[in-house]
Amino acid sequence: MAFDFSYHSLTKVVFGRDSENKVGKLIKEFGGSRVLIHYGGKSAVSSGLIDRIKNILDSEGIYHTELGGVVPNPHLGLVREGTELCKKEGIDFILAVGGGSVIDSAKAIGYSLGEPDKDVWELFLHERAPKACFPIGTVLTISAAGSETSASCVITNEETKEKRSCNSDMARPKFAVMNPVLTMTLPDYQTQSGCADIMMHTMERYFTNGGNMEITDSIAEGLLKTVIKNAKILHTDPENYEARAEVMWAGSLSHNGLTGLGTNGGDFMSHKLEHEMGGMFDVTHGAGLAAIWGSWARYVYKNCLDRFVKYAVRVMEVVPEENDEKTALKGIEAMEQFYRKIGMPTNMRELGIEPTDEEIEIMAKSCIRACGKPSGSAMVLDEKDFIEIYKNAR
């Protein structure tokens, strides 16, 4: 039976070639006059994109300052630095130019400015709920996280090695500028890691034991098949505009809530397990998800068998076997074969990490602290389950 839901998409999307040229007018539309341009580093600068953005803002008479240096698994330390810079410069709007890490860092700065007398990390530890967030706009350069239209934000405390999330509609960007051309210079590994992340955002909502709607399933299945098709194209033809466009739009649809409507909210345990890997080993997020997913899937599939069978047949186009268990396992194997075709890892060794038993126990304990209690929809998991999944993924 479908669960009740409410859905409100708050982000204005401007999609297509040269769409970044509209960023100044968009900032004005949403009340911005003094802007922090927030970005990562090398590619955004060397491509000339940051200079183009600055020139566009100058032409609109919009004051701006900038802060680069965002890294994958964005750091709390830079969030704090950005907060102080914004206070000093009287910033009233944050423009994130980059991918999910940059956008998440911008969201965390927005939260911090919204409640300047409180420690923003408390939000990520879930010690309190956010009450305000400064407005954010995005110019997307990496198709992956879906953060450009989502309520999600993930930050890493580089001192404690904790990677934690905070979700609130207050942090949804006011606008998302999406030009597929801006993603064409990405290395293949980063492109494919993004595709893995996009798929996992959809799969986390698909593999549930609570409330499923046929229309939502159809949207999710179509999205997944589209990403599989176009990830393969981009693996050999990275400048294919149509494939870039399909993947870029899929990234937003995968994480703006659409593919989870009518469910119990999804599973998201693969994400939570990967967050600990990212916090400890600083791995690329999408690749980390690919590395852990097969182990998680084989651990839980019997508890969510009908969904795994449906996925195998409808998405991976598996011919049904003599029984449902064999069909489900064949679907998991087909997914891992796809990962290998696009250069993604299917275990931690292929990811480049080999955690010790002690490190696995540390990650498992940290994961259960982050969850607060045994969690999951495909199967409810606790600390001992986390340990087994990590070990099976080595």
What is the tens place of the pLDDT at every residue in 130-184? 999 999 999 999 999 999 999 999 999 999 999 999 999 999 999 999 999 999 9
pLDDT digits (tens, 9 = 90+) for 192-238: 999 999 999 999 999 999 888 999 999 999 999 999 999 999 999 99
Domain ranges of the chain: 12-182, 186-392
pLDDT, position 209: 94
Q: Which string of DSSP letters, residue by residue, matches 3-59?
A: PP------PEEEESTTGGGGHHHHHHHTT-SEEEEEE-SHHHHHTTHHHHHHHHHHH
pLDDT tens-digit series, residues 10-36: 899 999 999 999 999 999 999 999 999
Query: What integer is the mean pLDDT of 48-63?
Result: 98
Residue 297's identity, in one-letter code, is A
CATH top class, domain 186-392: mainly alpha
Residue 207 to residue 220: CA distance in whole angstroms: 11
Nearest to 284 by CA among 46, 99, 136, 105: 99
Tell me how long the chain is: 394
> What are the tens digits of pLDDT across the range 240-292?
999 999 999 999 999 999 999 998 889 999 999 999 999 999 999 999 999 99
Q: Got the DSSP string for 82-127?
A: HHHHHHHHT--EEEEEESHHHHHHHHHHHHHHHSTTS-THHHHTTS
Q: 289 and 32 in contact (C-beta within 8 Å)?
A: no
The pLDDT-based confidence of 42 (bands split at 50, 70, 90) is confident
Specify the pLDDT at position 66. 97
Res 5: pLDDT: 86
Please state which architecture CATH assigns to domain 12-182: 3-Layer(aba) Sandwich (3.40)
CA nearest neighbour of 139 among 200, 52, 72, 75: 52
Residue-level pLDDT at 1 = 55
- What amino acid is encoded at 50 in this protein? I
Q: Is 91 in contact with 66 (CB distance < 8 Å)? A: no
| Residue 215 burial (10 A CB sphere; 0-12, 13-18, 19+) | exposed
